[in-house]
Amino acid sequence: MHDHDHDHEPTPMTEEQAPEPIGRPGPGRTILIALVGAVALALVAALTLGGGDPPGDLGGRETGPVAVFGDGLSAFAGAEGDVAVGRLAPDFDATTFNGDIVQVRPGNGTGYVIAFFAHWCSHCQAEVPKLIGWIDRDGIPSGVKVVAVSTAVYLDRGNLPQAWFAAEGWPELVLRDSDESEVADAYGLRSFPYFVVVGTDGRVRARVSGGQPLEGWEYLLDQATRSGAVPLGEDAT
């Protein structure tokens, strides 16, 4: 599958240091320089975080505690030749927006399509209703679970996850990632939307990013029903 139409996770910017004064300023100039430097740093922080709010949701409504078990997957660099294909997917525990704890245990005979979405990602906002339409029309194969993971939450960017998924009528399970996006990191997320397919034996069968056509979505569901080795080239169409 080809990767396209995706938003990259924002790379945190570092605060710039205020310039050192030239020469030896007097007391009044020292205070002025300190004030200017403090204002500059505050502006840099505000621009970096999109209005001053830190990433994540420290109040615990949009994000929640998670626990990840096992080795994480390498960062996703493209479906072709993906080194994570065939590796065991990590287990994780996370919570729903209602606070219910859900255990995701690949390898228990259930296949998974794990879809990672960011509420501020325009491509995710286009992808979710499209997937809902396909799921409503065609269903999901027996023995396969589709799990959405809401991650990379920024409270000041609007379209917050809980209300967004409810308004769209997402019919499957939605789990909250942590403030630090630990589940997304464990699964090698680099951009949105992002899909990881885990076969019934708990091994990764495909990873793709970007909006998916209908045949791409059908491929992901089909792969989730399978186990064993992935034939060369089968993980990228």
Nearest 5°: CA angle at 196, between 224 and 206?
A: 65
7 pLDDT band, cuts 50/70/90, is low
Total number of domains constituting the chain: 1
pTM for the full model? 0.77
Nearest 5°: CA angle at 170, between 87 and 130?
A: 80
**d(C-alpha 38, C-alpha 36), whole Å:** 5
CATH number for the domain spanning 98: value is 3.40.30.10
8-state DSSP, 125: H
**d(C-alpha 53, C-alpha 177), whole Å:** 18
What pLDDT shows up at residue 38? Answer: 37
Q: Examine the pLDDT at 114 and tell me if it is beyond 50.
A: yes
Q: Examine the pLDDT at 19 and tell me if it is beyond 70.
A: no
Q: Could you write out the DSSP letters of every residue in 186-234?
A: HTT--EESEEEEE-TTSBEEEEEEB---HHHHHHHHHHHT--SPPPTTT
3-state SS, 23-51, equals CCCCHHHHHHHHHHHHHHHHHHHHHHCCC
What's at 199, amino acid-wise? G
Question: What pLDDT digit, counting tens, does each position of 55-75 carry?
Answer: 666 667 999 999 999 999 999
Average pLDDT (189-210) is: 98
Question: What pLDDT digit, counting tens, does each position of 20-29 carry?
Answer: 222 333 444 3
Higher pLDDT, 113 or 18: 113
Task: Give the C-alpha distances (Å, rounded to integers) separating 207 from 36, 66, 116.
Answer: 48, 22, 11
Q: 212 and 220 in contact (C-beta within 8 Å)?
A: yes
What's at 50, amino acid-wise? G
Question: Which structure tokens are listed for 188?
Answer: 């090698």
What pLDDT shows up at residue 230? Answer: 83
Q: Examine the pLDDT at 88 and tell me if it is beyond 60.
A: yes
Q: What are phi and psi of 115, to 5 degrees?
A: -110, 125
Segments forming the whole domain that contains residue 55: 1-237
Q: Name 137's Cβ contacts closer than 8 Å, sequence gap at least 6.
A: none
Average pLDDT (146-164) is: 97
Q: 212 and 127 in contact (C-beta within 8 Å)?
A: yes
**d(C-alpha 21, C-alpha 225), whole Å:** 65
